[in-house]
Amino acid sequence: MKKVVNGKVVDIKNIELFEQAAEGLAIRNTTVSITSEGVEAQLDSPLIHNYIKQYDIFFRSMPYPLYAIESDIKYATLGNFLKAINHNKINMWVNNGLNIKLDDKTGMTLKIVNNTWAISYCNDIILDNTDMNLYKDSVGYNEYNWVLNKIIKKEKTNNFYNEFMPDFVRACNGQAMVLRWELNNILTFARVPDIMNFEDNKIIDLEDKSEYTLDIFCNGTTNTEEKITRIEIGNIDNLSNTRFKKIKTYDWNIYHKGTSDSASIKMDKRRFIGFDTLFNDIIVLKNNSGQIKFPIYKGVISDNNLIYSINGRLYITKVNRVTRSENIANGIELYSIEDDRIYFSKSKKINDKITKNILYSYNLMDKKARLCKIAYTY
C-alpha cells in the first residue's frame, strides 16, 4: 500500500498489521484483572504471580501495532516466551487468549487476554497449539518472531520500525514526534473533508445551497408482457381467463426552494431534464425490490453533475440532458462532495458494537476510486 508520509510516497508492505491493530484497539478484549497489578491482593500463588509478571514484561516490550492485534499468533508468541524462560513444562494453549493450566486435578487455568488475566477451570485435555510453525501463514509471522527472539535475548525492540519499515522511518527524517504522528495516522491515505449532511429526498445545489425535490405520482396503468391465468373455481366447464399483468405507471414534477424562500416552487421540467434519470432509477429500484414505498434518494448538483444515492447505490448523471446514469458504487453512504471528488463510505459490522468504516473518493475527471481512510467506530 502506497501512502504519503511526511510529504514522501512510501510503500507500506505490512499495512494489514495496522488494520488489525486498529480493530483490536476498538474491540479491546479483556478478562478481569490487569497484569501489571499482579495477584498479591487476590490470589496467594507464586506460580501465577510469576507467569503474570513475565507475561507483562513481554507485553510491554511489544511495539505497536503488535501488542494491539487480537490474533492467535500474538498469544502463541507470548506463550513461547514463557516456555523459553521457564525450565518447568507448561501446559498451555491459545483460544481467545493464552490459557495456562495450573493444576490438572482441579482444572485451574490462568487465562490472559491483552494485559488482563482471570482464573477459570477447565478439565478438558486440550492440545498445545503455540508452536510458531503453525502460524507461518499468519499476518505478522516475521514481525512476531523477530520480537520473540529479541526479548528472549534480552535485547531492546525499539528498532522495530527500522527493521520492518525502513522507508517509513527515513520519510520521517528520524524525528520521533513525526514518526508517532504518522503511525497514529497510518490508516489515513488521503485528505478527508468534513462530512456533509445529506437530507432524505432532497437534491442540494452546492453553488447556492438551494434544494430540489421530486414529486412522483401515479398517472395510470399499463400492460406488461407477463401473462396471468385465472381459473374460475366451481365453474362446471373449468373456464379460464388469461390476461396481461398490469402495473402502475408514474410521472414526476420538480420543485425548487431557495435558501430565503418559505415555500417550494414548481419548475419547468425541461430545464432539469436530467432529473428524469433520477426518477427512472427510483422507479426501477422500487419495482425490483417489490416495495410499496419509493426508495429514499439524496444527493447534490455540482458543476452540472447530478450526484445521488438510492438505497445505498451511488449514481452520477448530468442535470441538463438525458443520459444513462453511471452506477459508481453499491452498499455505500454519501460522505461529502468537494471540488471534483465524491466521498463515500462503506461499513462492515465486526460485532454488535464495532463497525469498520472505509472511506473512498471518486474523481469525476479520471473516473477512479481511491482509498482515503480506514477507521473503526463504536
- The per-residue pLDDT for 40 is 44
Residues 30 and 174 in one domain: yes
pLDDT at res. 42: 46
Domain-embedded: residue 31? yes
Write down the pLDDT at residue 15.
Answer: 94
Rounded CA-CA distance 19/26 in Å is: 11
> Do 73 and 81 form a contact (C-beta atoms < 8 A)?
no
- Identify whether residues 237 and 180 lie together within a single domain: no
Claim to verify: residue 167 and residue 208 sit in the same structural domain:
no
In the prediction, which pLDDT does 230 show? 62
The last residue of one of the domains, among 126, 155, 184, is 184
Per-residue pLDDT tens for 228-276? Answer: 666 555 555 555 566 667 778 899 999 999 988 888 999 998 889 999 9
Residues 132 and 49 in one domain: yes
With CA atoms as reference, report the closest residue to 253 among 283, 214, 282: 214
Please give the residue range of the domain that contains residue 52: 2-184
The answer to whether 79 and 91 have CB atoms below 8 angstroms apart is no
Instruction: Clarify whether residues 264 and 321 are in a common domain.
Output: yes
Query: Contact 328/362 with Cβ under 8 angstroms?
Result: yes
**Residue where a domain terminates, one of 184, 218, 249:** 184
CA angle 57, 58, 63 (to 5 degrees): 115
The answer on 355 and 284 residing in a single domain is yes
Place of cell 447534490: 300
Residue matched to cell numbers 432532497 = 202
* Residue 271 and residue 346 in one domain: yes
Identify any residues that bridge with 246 across adjacent strands, giving them in sequence order. Answer: 223
Domain-located, residue 195: no
Whether 298 and 219 map to the same domain: the answer is: yes
Encode the chain (378 residues) as per-residue pLDDT tens digits: 889 999 999 999 999 999 999 998 888 765 555 545 444 444 557 888 889 999 989 999 999 999 999 999 999 999 999 999 998 889 999 998 999 999 888 888 999 998 888 888 888 889 999 999 999 999 999 999 999 999 999 999 999 999 999 999 999 998 999 999 999 999 999 999 999 999 999 999 999 999 999 999 988 887 776 666 665 555 555 555 666 677 788 999 999 999 888 889 999 988 899 999 999 999 999 988 888 889 999 999 999 999 999 999 999 999 988 889 999 999 999 999 998 999 999 999 988 888 999 999 999 999 999 999 999 987
Residues 206 and 271 occupy one common structural domain: yes
Segments of the chain assigned E as strands? 2-5, 8-11, 33-34, 91-94, 98-101, 108-113, 116-121, 202-205, 211-231, 240-257, 265-266, 297-302, 305-310, 313-318, 326-330, 333-338, 341-349, 355-363, 369-377
Residue at 197 is within a domain? no
Would you say residue 101 lies in a domain?
Answer: yes
Q: Is residue 273 in a domain?
A: yes
Any domain includes 131: yes
- Does a structural domain hold residue 189? no
Q: Is residue 347 part of a domain?
A: yes
Query: Are residue 209 and residue 178 in the same domain, yes or no?
Result: no
What does the pLDDT read at residue 378? 79
How many structural domains comprise the chain? Answer: 2
One domain for residues 29 and 167: yes
Asked if residue 254 and residue 366 are part of one domain, the reply reads yes
